[in-house]
Structure 1
Amino acid sequence: MDIIYMFNQQIYTETDKFPDYIIAIFFFTPIILGLFFFIRNKRFDKKWDSGIFPEKYKFNQDNLLEAYLCLAALIIQLKKTEKSKKILFINSYFNRYFKKSNYNFSDSLIYSFKHPIQINTVTHWLKKNIKDRIERIHVIYFLTGITMIDGKISLKEKKILILISMQLEININDLDRIILIYNSYRESIEKNKSRKINTPEKIMQSSRILGVKTDSSIEEIKKAYRKMVKLHHPDRFQKSGIEHIKIAEEKFIQIQNAYKTMTNSKC
């Protein structure tokens, strides 16, 4: 007991050396900080419940995936066919292009189903934090991929893709090309690497991907191809992370295939 008494006396003696305000700061600062974070998190929770994507969210990979998921949930709710396959697509997409993230999206997706996001709040956050228009196009690639799981895009899905594209300041022609790229890819798989696709249909798809007419000259095709290469070449994304590079590489292959089809049709 004497040892405990002496120890307590030593503590009291040491604390007597400090002014009262220093002791007050020492004891009350953790409480104030705790209250601050509690109130801030409550404010974020209220925003989420109201379908508002917090504008002050820090831009990092996990929060970027959260933005992807909020929009994906809206797309899935429009047409619930093949819902499990669409969720598998999301999981596969995240694992493939965002390998460094440990993000567990299942709870967030369920929450987004229950509390649909206000589109303008998440697109505002994306546009604020992703300055490169081509990188914002990757969001549209992702969402279009979900709509294509069951083979075709419904009118409601197309309308919401147009709305998101406009709010991200992405040209509608870019959206149409993305849809054509997915269509071309699906048909190439389903019809044995595109060998069974009749030539006129293939040429039509390729011309739309490049943004030219089927009867455009070689010079016009080359000019359009160079423009697409400049916009979508993977080298543009060397500083944007491996996920953006991989997306660009896959889409670039589709552009190259379209160019090859168009030039071969002129031979």
Structure 2
Amino acid sequence: MANFTKWLGAGLGFTLGGPIGAAIGFAIGSFVDGFSEKDLLLEQGEYQSKTQNNRHVNTQSGDFEMSLLVLASIVIKSDGKIDKRELEFVRAQFLSMYGKERANNAFKLFKGIVKKEISARQVCIQIREHMSHASRLQLLHFLFGIAKADEFVTEKEVEEIRKIAGYLYINQRDFTSIKAMFYDESDNAYKILEITKSATDDQLKSAYRKMVKKYHPDKLQDLGKEHLQGAKEKFQSIQTAYEKIKKERGL
């Protein structure tokens, strides 16, 4: 248990409290007898005292990790079942980002979180108060990856992610752009760049520059190098979409 709480304390900030903290406490309590959310906060007394007068706490790597776990649990349950392939996707993503020991801790916690009924709205309010727009876009990208893990995205999953996007103050254009990164349709390249097929070549170039700025991996540097791979995947989707349209147009 000592190693587990050390892992929790290493990178947690704003997610210690609120609905995310409650979910974490519930999850730990599901596999550690007598452990509660209160115990989790006591473990982090020093953190609490340091941030008492700082309402806006910076997002840390652990905060992003906990936010992923909680939102992933909501999406996975949205179609009324928990698919093994989706669980394996979560495990694989955490292995690639965090390494075996940290990923095992995270997945152990996830299996507890998924048992709890959680309000997506309340969780998203907590996230958006502390997390940058770029980080929230990265969360959305991860959630679509989970939904696609079983090779079939249900309408219920899409609607749950759409609701989450709205709660996170991610607009419809950004939602459609990220969603298009996971589908193979004729006009997806245009959707990814947030333009239509009627866009001029100058509008295409302008849209590309705008998207490169929005999705550049440097915007997630504060979250730690472990979260940059997902950012690079989004960035590559932008590059691929642009090159595809240029080729179609003979530019």
Residue 85 of structure 1 is matched in structure 2 by 85
Q: What SS class does the counterpart of residue 183 from structure 1 fall into?
A: coil
Find the counterpart in structure 2 of residue 155 from structure 1: 155
Deviations 1:172-206 (A, max 9, x none): 2211111111124xxxxxxxxxxxxxxxx54x111
Deviates more, 1:243-252 or 1:141-150: 243-252
- Percent sequence identity is 25
Give the alignment's TM-score, normalised by structure 2.
Answer: 0.70
Measured in 1, the distance between the counterparts of 2:201 and 2:24 equals 54
Helix, strand or coil at the partner of 2:77:
helix
Q: Classify 1:242/1:173 alpha carbon distance in 2 versus 1 (closer, same or farther; 3 Å).
A: same
For 1:65 and 1:47, the matched residues in 2 are separated by: 12
Distance 1:69 1:48 in 2: 13
Distance 2:198 2:133 in 1: 30
Question: Which structure: larger Rg?
Answer: 1
Query: Structure 1: any 5+ residue segments left out of the alignment?
Result: 1-40, 185-200
Deviates more, 1:121-130 or 1:214-223: 121-130
Amino acid at match of 2:192: I
Please give the alpha-carbon distance, in whole angstroms, between the structure 2 residues aligned to 1:205 and 1:169: 23
Aligned to 1:263: 246
Amino acid at match of 1:167: Y
Q: Which runs of 4+ in 1 moved over 4 A?
A: 44-49, 56-60
Alignment: residue pair count? 204
The aligned counterpart of 1:127 is: 128
Cα separation, 2, equivalents of 1:73 and 1:47: 12
CA deviation vs aligned residue, 1:70-123 (integer Å, no higher than 9, x gap): 221221122366711111111111222334972513432232232121112221
1:66, distance to aligned residue in structure 2 (A): 2.7
Aligned equivalent of 1:111: 112
Structure 1 stretch 143-152 or stretch 252-261: which is displaced more? 143-152
Mapped contact 1:135–1:244 kept (Cα < 8 A): no
CA distance in 1, matches of 2:64, 2:219: 20
SS of the residue corresponding to residue 142 of structure 1 reads: helix
RMSD, aligned CA: 3.0
2-structure distance, mates of 1:205, 1:237: 25
Say whether the 8 Å CA contact 1:70–1:116 is kept in structure 2. no
State the alpha-carbon separation in 1 of the partners of residues 81 and 23 from structure 2: 31
Ranges in structure 2 where 5+ consecutive residues have no aligned partner: 1-16, 27-36, 48-58
TM-score (norm 1): 0.66
Taking a change above 3 Å as real, the CA distance of residues 93 and 256 of structure 1, as seen in their structure-2 partners, is same
Separation in structure 1 between the aligned mates of residue 68 and residue 174 of structure 2, nearest angstrom: 19
Contact 2:98 2:226 in 1 (8 A): yes
